[in-house]
Structure formats: structure tokens, C-alpha cells
């Protein structure tokens, strides 16, 4: 080939493979963009390059067959616990209730295998120790990690003492740190408080207002002095979140099993309801009647920590499967696990497959048969569908590949 011919051939070769990765033949579920059909997804670098009904395989350097699978945005889990800290652990004095320290998990070991690419640590650290959490976990994780600051300055370092320390619940200091790290901190959390006062909630809301971030509330003990209905209809602002929505002790139903009217009032006000499954916060007694009457959570999350992942919760896809088996269409389950939670933490750049967005993708399989799902009380619900994570792409890179779909076929002698 002469030099002029070679110069003409180079652009032609480059044009033949404009994409690095092509997910071909899958059923795309992208609620933000109203896509619920078979389409191909092309990736260039770390961005979604094209979503179309048919993209030629010859245009991509690597093609992954997704026939029979769902292709969805990378999942967004807004309630996890990741602050593993030797300093925290040494100060627990045997308090096994802490969700930081020993009970926290490293994100990369538990996210990608379930299609999760973005997580929010829900209050494991407070304004006093967030810098260590940032250095130890956020900056050393492939998973995209955001944080909600605990209104308690020391975070979740033991329910019996630290998390009941009212003088350490400074709205001003919490807001100051949240504004100092806006790229990492997406909210304020209050959790596990057992006393009769509204101080933790009110200070969290004040901090959220000062820092212009939402608040997430784990109500702790349900006490008559601070009624749950008052929390969601008066104390929380539009956009604030109540997590552990299906916890068994929450007063959500009347004696006939009908939804109490204040829940509709709270939803009209814009308060969000998050699953936050955890080890003790999901009961079929609330989940089944609420969903059957059409009152769905706004977001699905795990409350991931060492206790929950080895109990009824297990992982994000297991929690999503529970909602799926309650009769919620898979398209809506994906909405509750992607764009909804992304919007709730004011990060609308995540949770969708828009061209130009970060290339975070979850490729999922639905196994059909008989599957059992446990709530936090050990009650089993038999379902017929189980979501399985086949492949996860984070920033354009394959980070989980259950069945080697992105690999090259082995041949003897190669």
C-alpha cells in the first residue's frame, strides 16, 4: 500500500470502531428517558455515546451480547454504612450496636456484583470525623461514594452513649463541614435516638437548611412524645427522607390494614420514603399492604452493613427482588433504584443512560422459579422472580462479570 493510500485508510479504520464497548441486544430500562424496549448501548471512554435500536457490532472494539437481559443505569443505593475505622472500633467499649467501625464494610466488595455504582454512607461519620472517612474510604474506592453527615459530631459510634449525646448535635458545625465538602456530602442524617426530644430531628433539619442539603431520618424509638405522623407532616421539609419505611413498628396502617391518611399528606408535601431494609427494618406486615394499596417507596436502599447482609437483606438486588415480587413492574423497580434516589440526593447526573452521561451500567438477569425472601423478623415470602447481577460497568470499565461475557473465549493451545 502506497503512502497516500495508507493515509486514506487510517481514518476509515478509526471510523469503523468509534466505540470502545457495545452492549448489544438487551432490553434497556431507563426511566429518566422513558426507555423500556430492546436497544443497544454504546460507550466511548467513560461516557454513554449512543443508545439506539440497532448499532452495528463492527463499530465497537468490544461487543457484549446482552440478549435476554435487562440493561439499566448503574444502581444508586442511598443507605449504606462504610466507615470502617480502627479509631472508632477502639472507642466502642464493646458496644456492638455501632454501624461504623467493625460493622461497616468496604464498598467495592459489595457494590459492583449487584449492579450498584453509586452509594451514600448514611451518617456513619459526623462533622468531627468525616475527614478520616473521606481519606480512608471515599478516596480509596472505585465505587462512587457520597456521604450524609450524622447530626452527632462523632457519628455512629455506639447507640448507648454517643448517639444519644444531645450537646454534640450541632447544626452549625454540621452545616459548616457539609459546605466545606460539597462534592462529597449530600445530606444530613439523624438516627437511633431513643429519647423523647425532637432535638436530633430539628437540628438535622436546621443543618440541612443551612447547607442546602436534604435530611434522612431513621426515627429510632417510636415514642408518643414525638409522634411519627408529626415527623413526616410537620417537621421534615419537602425533599427530606424517612428511611426504614417498612419497619414493623412504624404506625402506617389502621386496625383494618388500610393506609393511614397522614402518609398521603406527607407525600403531597414532598417528603420521601426510603426502604432502608437493614437487619431490623423491613417487615412484610407493612410492605405487603402498603404496596398492594399502591403506596410505593420513593427509593429502594439496603442499609448495608455486616449484620444486614448476612440476614434477610442480603444485597441490593435481593431488596429490589422483594419489591418486584410484590407486583411492582421491573421498570418501576429500576426507577426506584436509579433516577429517583439520584434526584433525592440532588445528583441528577447519575441513574440514567443519557448520551454524554457517565457510563455506569447494570446488566441484570431475572431468574424465574421458586425463590424465598426473608424480612427482618425471619418471615419468608415466596416469590417467582430473582434479580441477578450479570455485568456491571463503572465509568466505561467492566468491574463485574458473572459469566465472563466480556472475556475472550478460551481455545486449547492459546
Is CATH 2.30.40.10 the right assignment for the domain spanning 3-73+358-401? Answer: yes
Are the CB atoms for 96 and 63 separated by under 8 Å? no
Domain with CATH 3.20.20.140 in the chain: 75-344
pTM of the model: 0.94
Superfamily of domain 75-344: Metal-dependent hydrolases (3.20.20.140)
d(CA 85, CA 103): 10
Closest by alpha carbon to 120, among 149, 99, 89, 159?
149
Domain with CATH 2.30.40.10 in the chain: 3-73+358-401
Q: How confident is the model at residue 300 (pLDDT cuts 50, 70, 90)?
A: very high
User: Per-residue pLDDT for 90 more than 50?
Assistant: no
* pLDDT over 70, % of the chain: 91
Residues 6 or more apart whose CB falls under 8 angstroms from that of 69 comprise 26, 27, 363, 364, 365, 390
User: End-to-end CA distance of the chain, in Å?
Assistant: 31
Task: Output the nine-digit C-alpha cell for 181.
Answer: 465538602
For residue range 318-333, list pLDDT tens digits in order.
999 999 999 999 999 9
Closest by alpha carbon to 120, among 74, 79, 82, 150?
79
> What pLDDT score does 89 carry?
46
For residue range 120-157, list pLDDT tens digits in order.
999 999 999 999 999 999 999 999 999 999 999 999 97
d(CA 317, CA 301): 10
> What pLDDT score does 101 carry?
58
Length of the chain equals 414
Query: How wide is the angle at C-alpha 119 spanned by C-alphas 117 and 120, nearest 5°?
Result: 165
For residue range 175-225, list pLDDT tens digits in order.
999 999 999 999 999 999 999 999 999 999 999 999 999 999 999 899 999
User: Per-residue pLDDT for 159 more than 70?
Assistant: no
Amino acid at each position: 500500500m502506497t503512502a497516500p493510500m495508507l493515509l486514506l485508510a487510517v481514518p476509515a479504520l478509526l471510523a469503523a470502531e468509534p466505540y470502545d464497548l457495545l452492549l448489544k441486544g438487551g432490553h434497556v430500562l431507563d426511566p429518566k428517558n422513558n426507555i423500556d424496549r430492546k436497544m443497544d448501548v454504546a460507550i466511548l471512554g467513560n461516557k454513554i455515546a449512543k443508545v439506539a435500536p440497532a448499532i452495528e457490532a463492527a463499530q465497537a472494539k468490544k461487543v457484549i451480547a446482552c440478549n435476554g437481559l435487562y440493561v439499566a443505569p448503574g444502581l444508586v443505593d442511598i443507605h449504606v454504612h462504610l466507615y470502617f475505622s480502627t479509631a472508632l472500633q477502639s472507642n466502642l467499649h464493646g458496644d456492638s450496636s455501632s454501624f461504623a467501625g467493625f460493622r461497616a464494610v468496604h464498598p467495592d466488595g459489595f457494590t459492583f456484583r449487584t449492579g450498584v455504582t453509586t452509594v451514600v454512607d448514611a451518617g456513619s461519620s459526623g462533622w468531627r470525623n468525616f475527614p478520616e472517612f473521606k481519606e480512608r474510604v471515599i478516596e480509596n474506592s472505585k465505587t462512587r461514594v457520597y456521604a450524609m453527615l450524622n447530626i452527632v459530631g462523632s457519628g455512629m459510634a455506639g447507640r448507648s452513649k454517643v448517639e444519644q449525646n444531645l450537646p454534640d448535635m450541632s447544626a452549625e458545625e454540621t452545616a459548616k463541614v457539609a459546605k466545606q465538602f460539597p462534592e462529597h456530602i449530600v445530606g444530613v442524617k439523624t438516627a437511633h435516638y431513643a429519647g423523647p426530644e425532637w432535638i436530633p430531628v430539628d437540628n438535622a433539619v436546621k443543618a440541612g437548611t443551612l447547607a442546602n442539603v436534604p435530611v434522612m431520618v431513621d426515627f429510632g424509638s417510636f415514642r408518643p412524645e414525638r409522634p411519627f405522623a408529626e415527623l413526616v407532616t410537620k417537621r421534615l421539609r419537602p425533599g427530606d427522607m424517612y428511611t426504614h419505611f417498612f419497619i414493623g413498628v412504624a404506625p402506617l396502617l389502621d386496625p383494618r390494614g388500610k393506609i393511614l391518611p397522614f402518609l398521603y399528606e406527607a407525600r403531597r408535601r414532598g417528603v420521601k420514603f426510603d426502604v432502608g431494609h437493614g437487619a431490623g427494618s423491613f417487615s412484610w406486615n407493612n410492605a405487603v399492604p402498603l404496596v398492594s394499596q399502591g403506596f410505593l417507596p420513593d427509593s429502594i436502599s439496603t442499609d448495608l452493613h455486616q449484620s444486614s447482609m448476612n440476614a434477610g437483606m442480603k444485597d441490593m438486588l435481593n431488596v429490589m427482588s422483594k419489591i418486584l415480587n410484590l407486583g411492582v413492574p421491573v421498570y418501576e423497580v429500576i426507577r426506584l433504584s436509579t433516577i429517583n434516589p439520584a434526584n433525592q440526593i440532588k445528583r441528577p447526573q447519575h441513574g440514567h443512560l443519557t448520551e454524554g452521561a457517565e457510563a455506569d451500567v447494570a446488566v441484570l438477569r431475572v431468574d424465574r422459579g421458586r425463590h424465598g425472601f426473608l424480612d427482618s423478623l425471619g418471615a419468608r415470602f415466596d416469590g417467582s422472580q430473582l434479580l441477578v447481577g450479570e455485568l456491571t460497568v463503572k465509568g466505561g470499565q467492566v468491574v463485574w462479570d458473572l459469566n465472563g461475557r466480556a472475556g475472550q473465549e478460551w481455545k486449547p493451545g492459546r
